[in-house]
Amino acid sequence: MFTVRLPALLVAGLCPLAGLFFFLIGTYPFVTSSNCTVGGVCTGLGMPPQNVGEVYGVVKAYTTRVGIGAFPTEQDNEIGELLQMRGKEFGVTTGRKRRCGWLDLVQLRYAYMINGFTALALTKLDILDVFPEIKVGVAYKLDGEVIPHFPANHEVLSKVEVKYETLPGWDTDISNARTFDELPVNAQNYVRFIEMELGVPVKWIGVGKSRESMIQLF
């Protein structure tokens, strides 16, 4: 099949687990044997890297994790419980409750560095509708000093202190919004803040459960 010239085809490759579960770059030993990065698409499909086109990262508007392991932005309190309840966060295979916390941009920058996202799909923004203020983890501190990278080492990661930026919430049901302009200003600002911090545009925003509840920006 590799010696025959075929018409160009659009092939969608999916990495079904979060990139930081890949054992070579994740927080060992809390990893999997699979390659969950965009590189795994190449090895899985038997195609060269230069044939990869757009790379879309899919991220929730907050952070979740199933099982044990370091989770710097975890909210082991009423905030985490509310995120879990509103987002119906249960492990697909195990049925266990997912641990929930604020969005972790340090972790997301690391995922971007490895995968080279060309755009993001930001899902479950509506889960944040009820929060008067929303925090975003923007940096880690270790022994009082800001560290410039994500430490893919469980022992180090479990000791970091998170530096947060606090943004105002919108206290409005956004599930009926179908364009970016229909979102409350504070919800728009939350999306733009993520784009600015990462340097990656958000192409889709999920605001509800239905197929129609996905706003496309470009």
Extract the annotated binding site for substrate.
Answer: 92-98
Which element (helix H / strand E) includes 194? helix 185-198
Residue 117 is encoded by which pair of tokens?
Answer: 């996202």
Question: How close are the terminal C-alpha atoms of the chain, in Å?
Answer: 35
Residues that constitute the known binding site for IMP: 32, 96
Contact in structure between 86 and 62 (CB atoms under 8 Å) = no
Q: d(Cα 215, Cα 198) in Å, to the nearest integer?
A: 20
Phi, psi for residue 13 in degrees, rounded to 5: -105, 140
Can you say which residues are annotated as belonging to the binding site for GTP? 98, 124-126, 206-208
Binding-site entries: 32, 92-98, 124-126, 206-208
How many residues appear in the chain? 218
Q: Are 169 and 186 in contact (CB under 8 A)?
A: yes
**Exposed (0-12), middle (13-18) or buried (19+): which is 65, by Cβ within 10 Å?**
buried
